[in-house]
Amino acid sequence: MIVTRVQAASFDAAAEITVLTAGRSNIGAVVSFTGLVRGDDALVSLTLEHYPAMTERALSAIAAEAEARWPLMGGIVIHRVGRLLPGDPIVLVAVASAHRAAAFAATEFLMDWLKTKAPFWKAEAREGGTTWVAARDSDEAAAARWRAAD
Amino acid sequence: MIVTRVQAASFDAAAEITVLTAGRSNIGAVVSFTGLVRGDDALVSLTLEHYPAMTERALSAIAAEAEARWPLMGGIVIHRVGRLLPGDPIVLVAVASAHRAAAFAATEFLMDWLKTKAPFWKAEAREGGTTWVAARDSDEAAAARWRAAD
Amino acid sequence: MIDLLYFAWVRERIGLDGETLPCPAGVATVADLLDWLSDRSPAHTAALADRSAIRVAVDQVFAGPGTPVTAGCEVAIFPPVTGG
Amino acid sequence: MIDLLYFAWVRERIGLDGETLPCPAGVATVADLLDWLSDRSPAHTAALADRSAIRVAVDQVFAGPGTPVTAGCEVAIFPPVTGG
C-alpha cells in the first residue's frame, strides 16, 4: 500500500523511510528519492501551486499504477505545496519490496509520473521577479519510457 | 566524494541520508538504497564473510567509478559484515546530485557493482544447517548493463 | 453551467482563478471550448494563444482536444505540469 | 613464497583459511596455480573441481586464468561474490 500526501509543512524524509520497514522482516530492499530546492542562480524561493481537487486523485492513480506493475510491500509519496526555500525538501518517494529491481523501478516510475501527470506548477522567485518553470522534454521522455513496457 | 565503510555494527540509514544534505542548498536529488535481511523460508541468521584486504580497495574503486561516470555531490556506501538477523540492514548506498537521473543511475550502478565486484559472501543459517548463497545470473546481467555504456 | 479553473501562468494571464459560465452554444469538446474562450477577452486570447502550451483536465482527469465538455463539468486549464 | 587465502565454501572445503607455500615450479599463471593446487590433497581437489565456480584475486584485484602469479604475491581463491 503506497500512502500519498500533499502538504505545505516540511517532512522528515529519514523518519518516513524508517517507518516503511519498522517491525518487518520480509522486506529486502528500500529505495527512496528526495527532491530538494536547489539555490541555483540566486533563487530566493520556489512556490508550488497545485489543483487540489485533482491532486489527490492523480497521486492515488499514480500510486495504484505502480502497485499494479511491481510487487511492492509498502511505500510513501509526499509532495509539498506553497513557498519553499533553497535546501527545502519538495518531494519524497520511497518504496519497499522483496528485491531491489522492483524497488528501483517503482521509485523511478513514481517520480517520472509525478513530474508529468500530477497537477503541480513551480514558480521561481529571484531578485528580478518571478518566473514559471517550463516543462522539460527530458521529463516527458523519462515518463514515456514506461509506456514501452505496457 | 563518496564515503565507503565496512562494519560489523548496524547503521542508521535515515541518519546517514540526512547527513548528505545537511547545510547544503545546491543538491536537487538524493536517492538511497537500503538492503535488508529477509526472513524467508525460516531464515535464522545471515553471516557475511569478506576479504578485508581487498574489500576497502574494491569499494573505493567502485565509488571512484561512479564519481567518474556521473556528476555527484556526495554519497555514502556502508556494507556490513558478520552475523545479521532478519530485518537487519545489510547495505546502504545513498547518492546526492543536482538532478535525479544521475542520482538514480549512480545508486543502481553502485548496487550492481557491489553485488558483483566486492568480495563479500553470504551464508544463510536455518534449522537444518548453513548454506552459502549462490551468485545469481540476474546480478551479473544487471552489472553488465553498465558495460554497454563504456 | 460550466466551472472553469485556471492555474499557474494561465491564471495570471487571464487574471482570474476561474469563472462559472453558462454552457456556450456549439461547444461540445475541449477544443471547441478553447476556441470559444479565446474570443472572450484580450486576456483570454493572450493566455490561450499557444495551444501547444495548454493542458486541460475535465472533471479532474487529463483531457484531449476531443474530450466531451458537458453542462455541470469542471474544466481546468493550465500549462504543462512541473511538479516533482 | 606465495600467500594463498581461501574464502566462503572454498575455505570450508579445503579446511584452511589459507596457506603460505614456496612458489611451485612451473607455475606462471593463475590457471597453472589452480591446476597445481588441485593435486595437493583430496580436499583441494574437491574444492577446486568446478573451475567455473572459482574466482581468483591476485594482490587484491580480480584476476583471470592468464594473470601472472609471482613470488611474494597474495592469491585469494573464492566462489563468486554474493554481497550487496
Q: Return the pLDDT at A149.
A: 55
In which region does residue B84 sit, left (phi positive, over 0), alpha (psi from -120 to 50) or beta (all else)? beta
- DSSP-assigned letters across all residues of chain A: -EEEEEESS---HHHHHHHHHTT-SS--EEEEEEEE---GGG--EEEEEE-HHHHHHHHHHHHHHHHHHS-EEEEEEEEE-EEE-TT-EEEEEEEEESSHHHHHHHHHHHHHHHHHHS-EEEEEEETTEEEEPPP-HHHHHHHHTTTTT-
Do residues A99 and A27 make contact, with C-beta atoms less than 8 angstroms apart? no
Q: How far is B149 from chain A (nearest CA, A)?
A: 18
**Cell numbers representing residue A80 in the block:** 509539498
Of A27, A32, A87, the CB nearest to B31: A32
Write out the residues of chain B at the interface with chain A, using a CB-CB cutoff of 8 A.
13-15, 17-18, 21, 23-40, 86-87, 98, 100-101, 103-104, 107-108, 111, 138, 142
Task: Please list every residue in chain C whose beta carbon sits closer than 8 Å to the beta carbon of residue A115.
Answer: 81-84
Interface test with C, best of A51, A56, A114, A138 (most C CBs within 10 A): A51
Torsion angle, alpha carbons of B102, A87, B79, D73, to 10: 60
Are 3 or more Cβ–Cβ pairs between B and D shorter than 8 Å? yes
Beta strands in D1-84 (DSSP E): 2-6, 18-21, 55-58, 61-63, 74-78
Grid cell 501547444 — which residue?
A: C52
Taking an 8 Å cut-off on Cβ atoms, the answer to whether A33 and B34 are in contact is no
Taking CA atoms, what residue in B is nearest to A25? B87
Q: Return the pLDDT at B149.
A: 55
Given a cut of 90, whether residue B112 has pLDDT beyond it is: yes
Taking an 8 Å cut-off on Cβ atoms, the answer to whether C82 and A132 are in contact is yes
Report domain extents, chain B.
Answer: 2-147
| Mean pLDDT computed over A126-139 | 95
What are the pLDDT digits (tens) for B101-110?
999 999 999 9
User: What letter does residue C51 receive in the DSSP assignment?
Assistant: G
- Average pLDDT of chain C to the nearest whole number: 97
Q: Return the pLDDT at B147.
A: 84
**Cell numbers representing residue B67 in the block:** 564519481
Taking an 8 Å cut-off on Cβ atoms, the answer to whether C84 and A50 are in contact is no
Q: Per the confidence metrics, is the pTM higher than 0.80?
A: yes
Task: Please list every residue in chain B whose beta carbon sits closer than 8 Å to the beta carbon of residue A37.
Answer: 25, 28
At A36, give phi and psi (nearest 5°): -125, 160
- ipTM of model: 0.93
What are the pLDDT digits (tens) for D22-68?
989 999 999 999 999 999 999 999 999 999 999 999 999 999 999 99
Do residues A63 and A106 make contact, with C-beta atoms less than 8 angstroms apart? no
Are 3 or more Cβ–Cβ pairs between C and A shorter than 8 Å? yes
Distance (Å, whole) CA A90 – CA A76: 14
Task: Please list every residue in chain D whose beta carbon sits closer than 8 Å to the beta carbon of residue B139.
Answer: 84
- pLDDT interval class at A14 (50, 70, 90): confident
Q: Return the pLDDT at A45.
A: 98
Do residues B114 and D82 make contact, with C-beta atoms less than 8 angstroms apart? no
Query: Which chains have 3+ CB pairs within 8 A of C?
Result: A
What are the pLDDT digits (tens) for A64-108?
999 999 999 999 999 999 999 999 999 999 999 999 999 999 999
Taking the Cβ of residue A54 and every Cβ of chain C, the question of whether any pair is shorter than 8 Å is answered with: yes
Beta strands in D7-73 (DSSP E): 18-21, 55-58, 61-63
**Cell numbers representing residue A25 in the block:** 522482516
Given a cut of 60, whether residue A150 has pLDDT beyond it is: no
CATH number for the region A2-147 comes to 3.90.1170.40
Which domains are assigned to chain D?
Answer: 2-78 (3.10.20.30)
